[in-house]
Copies of this chain bind each other. A is one copy, B any other.
Amino acid sequence: MKVALAQINTVVGDVWGNVEKTAGALERAVEGGADLVAFPELTMTGYPPEDLLLRPSFIRDNLDALEEFTGKVPEGVVAAVGFVDLDGDLHNACGVISGGEVLHRYHKRYLPNYGVFDENRYFREGEGPAPILKMGRDLVGLSICEDIWYPAGPAHDQALGGAGVLLNISASPYHRLRGAYRERMLGTRASDDGCYVVFCNLVGGQDELVFDGRSSVFDPEGNPIARAKQFEEDLLFVDLRPEEALFHRLHDPRPRKEDPDRHPEMITVPLSTSEPVGEPINRAGIEHRIEPPLPEEGEVLEALTLGLSDYFRKNGFSRAVLGLSGGIDSSLGAAVAARALGPENVTGVLMPSRYTSETSNTDARAVVKNLGIDNQEIPIGPAFDAYGEMLEEAFKGLPEDETEENIQSRIRGNILMALSNKFGWIVLSTGNKSETSVGYSTLYGDTAGGFSVIRDVPKTLVYRVARHINEVEGREIIPDSILTKEPSAELREDQRDVDSLPPYEVLDPILEAYVEEDKGVGEIIAAGFDEEDVKRAVSLVDRSEYKRRQAPTGIKVTARSFGRDRRMPITNRYREEDGDERRSE
């Protein structure tokens, strides 16, 4: 049987656009000879639709869209398409469609409600026997995303019930190294159940999430035999012999025990193209396309690029503006913007002050030239002097401090927002995750913007991705001077980041342990970090929650990003040292 994995980029809320895109991919799949065409989870609504799901009009439109699509599926071809079913309650569903009819509505069994997921907020779990599609003599088990992450989930029942192929339609978001982890799990599921596993994933950016595609197919030994592109739409064909899985299982010594209460339900699917009985099942020479996976820096770069370009495209924006300081963060931000939007759609603004070094200006101009983006230079002196005058009486007799530093940063934010308002450009902010974690930023200053390009990229990874750009482009995009000079905010004389923070090589692993892994202070110190560094970093993270709450959204790249992934109260008096002191009293 020929299966097409339609790895499409749907848009949240755009039910009619999604129908059109789904129908287009179906047509190409049918032209390619597909018997079965799979689409990503919640094809009709996009993923995740969040509280749109609470609107009755939205649910109705999604059902109308499913009906419209149903009419487009020809006889003899089966489409597995995601939608929201209304059946006593809302269900995250997969419609099995053939010959103008919805033959079955599968309801997702396992609803993720952790990390970035909130599916219990909206959906009820499906119940009853797991379905197997009977396509001629081929049996195909069907499940949705989270379902396949459990070894004893519906796919297991389907394998015991005779399925040779386990099809899973997904919306599995990217974070670094996630793709390889996911493939290991899917391969294990295939070899445990002795089945082909066909995994069709969503691709595209949706606010802070990027879905990486990388749809893939595993043979019953768990080897990947086909893999679609990462971070791009794709249509991947595989030609499978489900019977091979059954014969493979005969040679697997592990006994398989079926639970009679969980026996799957057979859904007969009328097919026009079923292979004739007796055709040899071991067809040599079937070559499937298997795209090579990107290296880690490449993944991150493509995730940032797709996340940014989709945020613009899906929201109807075209041009971006950002401040260029001559530092590594704004340089990487500009490079990603030029890749995502085209250099002709990006304006970099130099906004020097009395503290800006000539090197910074030179470096920033080099980035503009290397990328071929537009450029403006607007020195901030006049506004800074005006604020000094306006606040003179209020600040009389008081020394300069961070207030004056923040004023500079906010003037820059205001200039960018003024350009945004006048020309309709979207402001990109370019703070990295290390700064965001410890609050080393000015609210309404450098945090200002519609989208925060690298907010989930730790500083040490910022350098690696910047170097990677130079490598893949084969020329200097980010000047070497920027890659090697010491980081500074340049908001006062001779300022350096290390005056306020531990070096990033020390800070980043502490932040990873605290923010991404929920490790305690004692545990992090025990891992070999300096007690002062750990306590300072943790305290800064705790105290900066209010700043992060007002920052623009940006692309999730790590295992736990700020935002919908890590949900901390602002009002939070928890200090774990209190407990340590208490216990040692």
Interface residues of A (CB under 8 A from B): 11-17, 48-52, 54-58, 60-61, 64, 113-114, 118, 120-121, 205-207, 310-311, 314-315, 376, 378-380, 382-383, 385-387, 389-391, 394-395, 398, 401-403, 406-407, 410-411, 413-415, 417-419, 421-422, 443-444, 448, 450, 518, 520-522, 546, 549-553, 566-576, 578-579, 582-583
Contacts and interface: CB of A to CB of B under 8 A. Distances in A.
B58 A569 contact: no
Given A378-B391, A383-B386, A394-B376, A118 B579 contact: no
Contact of A314 (B50, B114, B571): B571
The winner among A120, A406, A422 for most chain B CB atoms within 10 A is: A422
A105 to B, nearest CB: 21
A379 B390 CA distance: 7
Contacts of A54: 518
A417 to B, nearest CB: 6
B391 A403 contact: no
Contacts of A49: 569, 574
A184 to B, nearest CB: 24
Nearest to A206: B571
A578 B60 CA distance: 12
Contact of A415 (B52, B56, B390, B521): B390
A414 B394 contact: no
A50 B379 CA distance: 44
Nearest to A382: B386
B378 A382 contact: no
A443 B419 CA distance: 14
Contacts of A567: 50-51, 118
Contacts of A48: 569
A17 B390 contact: no
B391 A415 contact: yes
Given A569-B48, A574-B13, A61 B207 contact: no
A582 B520 contact: no
B571 A315 contact: yes
A60 B582 CA distance: 12
